[in-house]
Chain A
Amino acid sequence: MQEALAFVEALLSSAVAAGTIYLLAAVGESITERSGVINLGIEGIMAIGAVSSFLLTLAYGHLAALLGAAALGALVGLFHATLSVSLRLNQVVVGLAITWLGLGLSGFVGAPEVARYVLETLNPAVPGYLAELKQAPRLQELNLGPLSGIPVLGRALFTQNALVYFGLISAVLAWLIIFRTRWGLSLRSVGENPALADSSGINVFLTRYLALIVGSAFAGLAGAYLFTGYQPFWVEDLTRSRGFIALSLVILASWSPLRAVGASLLFGALEALQFRVQLRGLGAETPQLVMMLPYLITILTLVVVSLATRGRIPAPAALGKPYTREE
């Protein structure tokens, strides 16, 4: 009994920790997609966020790492918007290209010799060999005093690092903004019927630019959290398609940042479970079948959502369609 409780406690705690990777990305992507643009680049932006947080943490500490990763994400979002909103290029293709670029850049920058060079350039005072060790200090958990002593839930809810709480708060805030403010109304109308929004005086292009920039900044932050808050050891392909899983999570949460909290907990739990099952020796020889679960469950949830809504997924009506102003 005692052991089972401890197992559940540890599982919940790591489900919240892993879920935050998905939550940060999904909150950002919900905002982006509400404006009618799908950002398939978040996988690559997460990779860029992760590698930049790795080197920036070593160079200037955690705060700089988080801000830097978000800023780089925003920059990539701006690039995406230039191609997909202004030049009206196919959003799928632009997103995939950005993902590819992000994975390539992160892999290259993370390679020991390049990482060393970049770190030495960023801050000559820091010994460059630190980058070759591929590690950086982990983000500290906040100490919320007696609250974390609550049985079973205490560790999961009150012994996490600041970004976990940031993720939860931003999910609530994003929900409030999207559904309860004028800004949100403009954002949604741009995603539903851009021509109508345009004729009622909303700047469609600016809205989509901002939505892409904010969403990509969140993706950059998700990558930074993945490295500094979850697994502070650099390996190439650290993101392992979590960005794409976050994309499907947005559908599962039907474009609501609040429902994304629940959905990301589900995928966080799955990831935690997979890890714990392996620790207990189940499938220790061949863990591959357990590792397939998140991917299969992603497909399954897509099917369930479609069936539950009878094929009428409540996607923003103009999602994926470039907007042209007729003159």
Chain B
Amino acid sequence: MRRLNIPLAGSLSIRLERRPELSRARSALVTLLFLAMAFLLSGAIFQLLGYGALEIYSAFGRSVLSPTMVEEIFRKSTPIILAAIGLSYSYRLNFWNIGAEGQLYMGMIAATGVVVLNYGGILPGGPLLLLLAVAASALAGGLWSLIPAALKIRVGANEIITTLMLNYTAILLADYLVHGPWKDPTGYGFAQTIPFPPEAKLAPPGTPEWAVFLAVSAACALTTLLVFNYTVFGFESKVVGLNPYASRYAGIRTGSVVLKGVLISGMLAGLAGLVVAGNLIGRLRPGASPGYGYHAIIAALLGGLNPITVSFSSLLFGMLLTSGDVLQASIQMPRAGVKIIIAMIFITTILAEFWKRHRLRIARRGGGGG
């Protein structure tokens, strides 16, 4: 058994040992305990910075968890669910795609492009329009993610940096379009595009939005579950992520597996863009995404890259995002406060993963070593 000793004062040391795998229930319990710790720690920070933690959390309980907010939470969670499930494909491959935000923006841009072309009479309207918007957003997100994947495979460029840089590029591109060529001529000078017509929305007016979102999210999660567990690609992507050298040796075409996985990542993020531009906002405007793609990163990791648990952790982030707006309105808490809570969840998540695999023992140095 591998051990790690951390020397403390004197002859005492903390010994880290691998522990046998926890049962599912205990593992979930550990996750929940560490989640609670994140809220406690952020509370301590707020207290330190002059905000009453109790006041914040009670406002949170009163307003955010009220029935009227549930629908809003679910709306805001949907793009996170799609993007986070998408990111699971990348992270399984050990491809550190930080670019869901940019891919989501490209999805918004492409879907809006379809709407603008339709307005200009170039693309037909009717039921075909939604199909075009879906295809365009997924394709744009997918292509945007293929750039860092190809650069990684071809020239070994670090994907963390390239995906991040492409995020800023996509956000600026959207900004340029809404201020420039795609600015709504009848929009009283506001930097925004024309609104999406009902035919271009995933959940057109009249249909219950939540039902459509639930159907899309569930379909995405279940399909991914099948892909991960019962397909050759799912198996290969896992092997590539664990050991790219061994997998190449075993005859897996590593490059093409990575390209496929990252492409799916980007397509799902692009689709999330259609949800945001089409339904959540109804048009493209600056700052359209409050960081759905970044929240998706943590949601994917918190959910352990399993599409079902990832969906639930995405709901948590949808709730936190909603709470940012609500807490600002009700107790004037700066929006960045929610970022602190999310960062704490991020940190306790990785600690929880560690805790599930190890246990600590305080031991006298030299005694009982291996």
C-alpha gap A260/B235 in the complex (Å)? 42
Chain B 135-163, CB-CB to A under 8 Å as 1, else 0, gives 00000000000000001000111101110
Residues A100 and B339 in contact, CB atoms below 8 Å apart: yes
- Report the Cα distance A117→B50, complex, angstroms: 7
In the complex, are the beta carbons of A291 and B172 less than 8 A apart?
Answer: yes
- Residues from chain A with a CB closer than 8 A to the CB of B169 are 292, 295-296
CB of B6 within 8 A of CB of A92, answer no
A63 beta carbon closer than 8 Å to chain B: no
Q: Which of B158-189 contact A (CB under 8 A)?
A: 158, 160-162, 164-166, 168-169, 172-173, 175-176, 179-180
Which chain A residues (103-148) contact chain B, with CB distance < 8 Å?
A: 103-111, 113-114, 117-118, 121
Residue of A with least CB distance to B164: A244
Across the interface, B346 reaches (CB within 8 A) one of A96, A285, A289, A296, namely A96
Which of A2-10, A64-72, A80-88, A191-199 touches B? A80-88
Q: Is B124 part of the binding interface, using a Cβ–Cβ cutoff of 8 Å?
A: no
Residues of A within 8 A of B155 (CB): 302-303, 306-307, 311
B166-A105 in contact (CB<8A): no
Are the C-beta atoms of A97 and B334 separated by less than 8 Å? no
Q: A251-B158, A302-B161 are in contact. Are A327 and B339 (CB under 8 A)?
A: no
A282 part of interface (Cβ distance < 8 Å): no
* Binary B-proximity of A271-314 (CB < 8 A = 1, otherwise 0): 00000000000000110110110011011001100110001010
Do residues A107 and B346 form an inter-chain contact, with CB atoms below 8 A?
A: no
Q: Is B344 an interface residue (CB 8 A)?
A: yes
Q: With an 8 A cutoff between CB atoms, is B336 at the interface?
A: yes
Among A101, A118, A324, contact of B50 (Cβ-Cβ < 8 Å): A118
Contact of B175 (CB < 8 Å), options: A118, A251, A288: A288
Task: State whether A118 and B334 are in contact (beta carbons under 8 Å apart), knowing that A241-B168, A244-B161, A286-B179 are contacts in the complex.
Answer: no
Complex contacts, A182 vs chain B, CB 8 Å: none
Can you list 13 residue pairs at the A/B interface with Cβ under 8 Å?
A83-B347, A83-B350, A88-B4, A100-B342, A103-B343, A110-B336, A111-B334, A118-B49, A251-B161, A292-B168, A295-B165, A299-B151, A306-B155
Report which A residues bind B (CB closer than 8 A): 40, 83, 86-90, 92-94, 96-97, 100-101, 103-111, 113-114, 117-118, 121, 236, 241, 244-245, 247-248, 251, 285-286, 288-289, 291-292, 295-296, 298-299, 302-303, 306-307, 311, 313, 324-327
